[in-house]
Amino acid sequence: MTAPVPGYDCTVDELMVVTFSRAMSNDTLAFNGAVSFIPVCGYLLARRTHAPELVWAASSIAIDADPATIPESTLSDGLWGGASMLSNSPFDFWTYAQGARYNTFAFRGAQMDAFGNVNNTVIGPYDAPKVRLPGGGGMADLGAMIPRIFLWSSTHNARTFVERLDFRSGMGWGDGGDHRRRLGMPGGPQLCITNLCVFDFEPVTKRMRLASLHPGVSVEDVRANTGFEIVMPAGEIPVTAAPTADELRILRTEVDPTNARHREF
């Protein structure tokens, strides 16, 4: 639900977009995949606020797109207005991705684990699934190639955040520790932004660590809705910072005036 955030002049989807946006910078070179409304809003908001040089390839195709509105699919050509280049998949996109020119990607899964690995393939056994999901798409590729991975979820509950994935469609920190480094992969997951809280990753184990709580959410709420043990930070857990009036105005009137992002809630 796009519920109001207690004490803030915004809803939780807006808080998630703004939090995502603030994690972007002028050296972000990003692109997006399927059903990625929160990241798409975040890239556009960052470019209109603190990161005007940010690069974003809409649908991984349309570089520097600046759509008037966000359509019902983030892989649709309705997202490409204002682009300076329409890139081609095998020889443009995959070169920039595997060549580590692009440095930022956001994915989510029907299941996510403590190391930021994701499952979008099956619930239950692969050969006899309880639920057949759409598939990992480019997750298995981009998880291995891109150094700054961001995760998000609009359904923070114990069914989504699980101890063990039924299938690892996309690589986050893998088995944790130095797993990515051993496989020669750059970087790894940086943040996971949910409708309840923000996680970062504990530097040694690479497990999700509570970084901030959204207003009105308690540690117990997060624990009760998370299927794995959460690393707790030393000291007080901060409250997720409030969006500014400018950020909210730009998001509501310029970035996503038709509330396409609500499709994720």
For binding to another protein (CB under 8 A), which residues are involved? Answer: 34-35, 37, 61, 71-78, 80, 86, 88-90, 94, 97-98, 121, 126, 128-132, 134-141, 143-145, 167-171, 174, 179-180, 183-185, 260, 263
Give the residues across from 194 on adjacent strands: 153
Cα–Cα distance between 32 and 30 in angstroms, integer?
7
Enumerate long-range contacts of 124-127, CB under 8 Å, 24 or more apart.
124/166, 125/166, 126/166, 126/167
Q: Which residues pair with 111 in a beta bridge?
A: 119
Q: How far is the CB of 168 from another protein (least distance, A)?
A: 4
Distant-in-sequence, close-in-space partners of 52: CB < 8 Å, separation ≥ 6: 26
Chain mean position to CA 175: 20
The token duo for 185 is: 């992969």
Question: Please, which residue, 98 or 157, has the CB nearer to another protein?
Answer: 98
In whole angstroms, the minimum distance from the beta carbon of 37 to another protein comes to 8
Minimum distance, C-beta of residue 217 to another protein, in the bound complex (Å): 27
Q: Which is nearer to another protein, 97 or 112 (CB)?
A: 97
Closest CA to 203 of 188, 224, 193: 188
Looking at beta carbons only, is 119 or 226 nearer to another protein? Answer: 119
Q: How far is the CB of 148 from another protein (least distance, A)?
A: 16
Query: Which CB atom, from 146 or from 248, has the smaller least distance to another protein?
Result: 146
Smallest separation, CB 5 to another protein (Å): 24
Instruction: Work out how close the CB of 246 gets to another protein at its nearest, in angstroms, rounded to a whole number.
Output: 28
In the complex with another protein, the residue whose CB is nearer, 161 or 167, is 167
Q: Give the sign of the dihedral formed by CA 125, CA 128, CA 134, CA 136.
A: positive
Burial class (CB in 10 A: 0-12, 13-18, 19+), 129: middle
Cβ atoms of 233 and 210 within 8 Å: the answer is yes
The smaller minimum CB distance to another protein, of residues 185 and 198, is found at 185
